[in-house]
Amino acid sequence: YTRNPRNTNATILLMGLRRGGKLSICKVVFHNMQPLDTLYLESTSKPQSEQFSSLIDLSVMELPGQLNYFEPNYDSERLFSLVGALVYVIDSQDEYLNALTNLSMIIEYAYKVNPKINIEVLIHKIDGLSEDYRIDAQRDIMQRTGDELLDLGLEGVQVSFYLTSIFDHSIYEAFSRIVQKLIPELSSLENMLDNVVSHLNIDKVFLFDVNLKIYVATDSLPVDIQTYEVCAEFIDMTIDLDDLYLESDKHRQLNGEAHVNTNNDDESNQSELKSISHLSNGFVLYLRQMIRGLALVALIRSDEVESMDKSLRIVDYNVSLFKKALMRMWENSRLIKDSEP
């Protein structure tokens, strides 16, 4: 039995009543399924667990609604003690009072076993609700949960609420924030990103997980969902183009031509994905590959076109420094943790 300290508390447990949307969320966020295809998903009755490697190693578990976690033969105590985030999914389009009773029962249990657990509530399927109704539903659910916790003597427990839907970016935004809380180095990462932003004309910078399309860190300015969307779509576009390039590269190699790396960095001889796009509104999108499936994506303001080349060189330089710091941080945190008893 080897203990891997990096894995502790990076487990996300998805719970909620049947048909709330748990499986759909897993498929859309972690497997790139098209939201409409979830209509035909068969709910399973067995607990499922999957592993993902992001900046941290994540493990995502889904517990079907009808399972009784508090049966003596189900080792829920061990399970909850290993979980970093409990994500409870509430179907906002359905009658949710039962879900709220179930939620407070689970919070009571989870908190007792593991007081450090993050409790995250998704008020889900909000695509079917009008703007006014969304806010009412959120207020009502928060109020009732607060009352239930008060009755249980658990008023000190922190619960975070998110309005989500698989039909827009809100589910990725929520998971970004849920995953971030599980990263021990988050505040250092945010400081480093603030440093990148502070010297440059950068409006917003994200450290994205390219596969999951969630951001594991961002600078401390508030996140505007449209900026997030633009950056996420830029990643897709860059990857599509890169695949094309790889294809034509393969083709060229097959034809006996030399392999050319366009993005060679001075300090590494591996090709590093990088992409820059000038938008018609004067902004520039900047993407650069980091470590562990991450990419730094920035939205840059360009005041004058002539000075843009120079600005981009400075951005490049600062992002290189950031990447080195990130690699160092990653190595150090692994070393520190590996040497723990």
- Whether the CB-CB separation of 271 and 265 falls below 8 Å is answered with no
Taking residues 43 to 82 in sequence order and writing x for each that binds ligand GDP by CB under 6 A, - otherwise, the string is x---------------------------------------
Per-residue tokens: 208? 């994205």
User: Nearer to ligand GDP by C-beta: 124 or 204?
Assistant: 124
- In the bound complex, what is the minimum distance in angstroms from residue 105's beta carbon to ligand GDP? 17
- Four-CA torsion 140, 141, 142, 145, nearest 10 degrees: 120
Binding of ligand GDP at residue 165 (CB under 6 A)?
yes
Is the dihedral angle over the CA atoms 313, 218, 240, 211 positive or is it negative?
positive
Q: How many residues does the chain have?
A: 341
22 lies in the binding site for ligand GDP (CB under 6 A): yes
| Among the residue ranges 121-129, 218-226, 286-294, 295-303, the one whose residues contact ligand GDP (CB under 6 A) | 121-129
The reply on whether position 137 binds ligand GDP by CB under 6 A is no
Does 38 sit near ligand GDP (CB under 6 A)?
yes
Which residue, 169 or 337, is less far from ligand GDP as judged by CB? 169
Establish how many alpha carbons lie within 13 A of residue 84's alpha carbon, considering only the half-sphere containing its beta carbon.
19
Q: Which of residues 21 and 84 has its CB atom nearest to ligand GDP in the complex?
A: 21
Q: Does 31 bind ligand GDP (CB under 6 A)?
A: no
Near ligand GDP by CB under 6 A: residue from 5, 7, 19, 329: 19
Bridge partners, residue 121, by sequence: 88, 161
Q: Tokens representing 236?
A: 């897709």
Out of 10, 60, 124, 218, the only residue in the binding site for ligand GDP (CB under 6 A) is 124
Would you state the structure tokens that stand for residue 263, as one six-digit string?
A: 């993005």
Angular region, 275: left φ>0, alpha ψ -120 to 50, beta rest = beta
CB 175 within 8 A of CB 199: no
Contacting residue, 2, 34, 39, 71, with ligand GDP by CB under 6 A: 39
> Distance between CA atoms of 63 and 66, rounded to whole angstroms?
9
Tokens of 116: 């450090």
Query: Is the CB of 127 or the CB of 265 nearer to ligand GDP?
Result: 127
Note the residues at the interface with ligand GDP (CB under 6 A). Answer: 16, 18-24, 38-39, 41, 43, 124-125, 127-128, 165-167
